[in-house]
Every structure is written in structure tokens, then in C-alpha cells.
Amino acid sequence: MSLTSDAAATATLTPTKPKASRLSRERIRSAWLFLAPMLIVLAAVALYPLYRTIYFSFTDASLDLLGEARWVGFRNYLEYLDYGNGQGEYFGLLVDARWWRSVWNTVWFAVVSVALETVFGLIIALVLFRKFPGRVWVQAAVLIPWAIPTIVSARMWAWMMHDQFGILNDMLERVGLIDTPIAWTASPETAMIAVIIVDVWKTTPFMALLILAGLQMVPQDIYEAARLDGVPPFRLFRKVTLPLIMPAVLVAVVFRALDALRVFDIIYVMTPNTDSTRSMSVFARENLFDFDQFAYGSAASTLLFFIIALMTISFIYLTRMNLEGDER
């Protein structure tokens, strides 16, 4: 067989992607036209500030002299200072122990809080999915912590956790779990625990709401067939319910993880200026405004953005989330 015939046979066997019809092209064009205003606004309020933040991270900008900023390259990230006697030292964000402690605090807070909120949210969603008298009122009551502003929740829990006047220590002493009051937000051993408790209390309803929406999308015929076959409840949950609601759970985890990785308000209100709870956002804010190191704070904000983007993309890839809606 000649090369020409082989090529023709290969072209015949290889499936060709059908061209988009005129109607499909019109729909895509219309979709872009409808999205254009939103994309323009998003570029104005998000992309431009992000560009300016990245730019300032490569300068020596200060808060009162932004217009006179000079380009210094990677000095804010990493710089080697030669002392002239054969010795030197590295400076910059990448070798800053306080920064890496903030990174660890943020990641630890995000992992623990999101894991607890997912478990508790799943339990609450399963309870609310069942029909019982007063379910509507229970659903409304569950959403109250999420509806309370974060600053209000943080101040309220800060008083509840006060070592002298807090109701939490009083309750624990009455049941005999502790002998002396605990300074929840002042002690390095318990400060992160206190912050996680408040965050779990406030954000678990959000997770429960998203998971409950996933539960309501499961066809009820599956449960009726399982009951007729005598499938035990736990096996039904593990083999049927959990796989079907897993897309909703993963979406909820992504949304919550994005919020947890940029946590600021709870930590800043409950435990300000504490190394044991300082997050990346708090670290960036301190350098931007409190310490008047605007360029250094911009570098921290830039790394915060890239760390969150990297962790989010890695999570989506590892969990094989289908964001395009096509069949795999």
C-alpha cells in the first residue's frame, strides 16, 4: 500500500471534531456579550489592584510616598547582604521566620476548620433532610450563626472566653472539666483553638446549606428501591448518598477553603499581635499600615495570592473536579 493510501486510510479512521454550527457560534457570541460588562467590572475592581500590588512588591514604596516608588527587583522577597569580610546574610520575605509562621498558622487553621465544618455540616444537613415537625424553624435557627457579622461573633466569643468573666470557663468549672480559668485568647496554647471554635460555630451552617442542596438533588427513587431491597442505612449512605452528593461537598470545601486561607477578621479581633495565630492576611496588613513597610506588605500580599491559587488548583486537580460540566 502506498503512503498516499495509508494517509487516506488514517484520515478516514481518525474521528474529526465536528465544526460548531452557526447557532452554536451565535450562542457563544451572545454569552460573551452578556458576560462582557461583568468582566470589565471585575477587571477594574480586581485585576488592576492585583497588578498594582504585584508591582509595588518590586519597589521600595512607602504608604505616604507611593508616587515616588523606585524599582528594586526581588529585594523584598530575597536579598543577600555582603558584609565585606567573606560573610553575609539573607534578608527578605522568603527567609522571614514570622512570615513562614503565618503561612503555617493559616494552613493549619484552614485544614482543621474546614475539616470540622465539613463533618458537622454533613451531619446537620442529614438531620435537616429528614422530615419532622418544626423542621422549617430548625433550619432558620441553624442559619443564625452564619447570618451574624463576623466582627460581632468574634467580640461575642471573646467575652464568652474571657478568663475572669467568661461564661465558657464558668460552665467548664461547674461540670468539673477544668480547675482554673483558661485564658483562651491570651495563651499561645489555646489561642488557635479558640479561633477555630469560633470559626466552626459561625461557618458550619454555610457548609450544611450547600450540602443540603446537594441532598435535595438526589433522586428519591434510589432510596425507595434501597428500602425495598433492605439495604442498611449506613451502607446506603456510604454507597449511594455520599457518592451522589460528593460534587456538592467538594464545591463547598473549595469555597470554604478559599475563605479560610485568607482569614483576617476573626484573628485580628480575637487575638491581635499574637504569633501563635497570626495569619498571612494579618501579616500583610501589619506591614502595609502598622509598620509602614508598604512594599514588604505588598510582597506578602502577592505571595498570599499565589499560595491560595496554587492550593486551590492543586485541590481541584487532586479531587478531579469537573468544572466544565462535560461527561468523563
CB atoms within 10 A of CB 265: 14
- At residue 322, the pLDDT reads 55
- At residue 7, the pLDDT reads 46
pTM for the whole thing? 0.82
- At residue 327, the pLDDT reads 44
Tell me the H-state helices in 217-293.
Answer: 220-229, 233-236, 242-261, 265-270, 280-285
Gyration radius from the chain CA atoms: 27
Separation of alpha carbons 29 and 50, rounded Å? 28
pLDDT in tens, 262-283: 999 999 999 888 889 999 999 9
pLDDT in tens, 46-89: 888 889 999 999 999 888 888 888 999 899 999 888 877 778 88
Buried b / exposed e over 34-63, threshold 16 CB at 10 Å, is eeeeeeeeeeeeeeeeeeebeebbbbbbee
CB half-sphere exposure, 228, CA atoms < 13 A: 6
Are the C-beta atoms of residues 178 and 166 closer than 8 Å to each other? no
List average pLDDT for each run of 10 residues in the chain, which is 328 residues long.
47 51 85 90 85 92 84 90 81 92 94 95 90 84 90 92 88 88 88 94 93 87 79 81 88 90 92 88 91 91 91 80 50
DSSP state for residue 264 in the 8-state scheme:
-
DSSP state for residue 84 in the 8-state scheme:
S
- At residue 237, the pLDDT reads 82
Let me know the angle formed at the C-alpha of 310 by 98 and 313, rounded to the nearest 5 degrees.
150
- At residue 241, the pLDDT reads 85
- At residue 49, the pLDDT reads 87
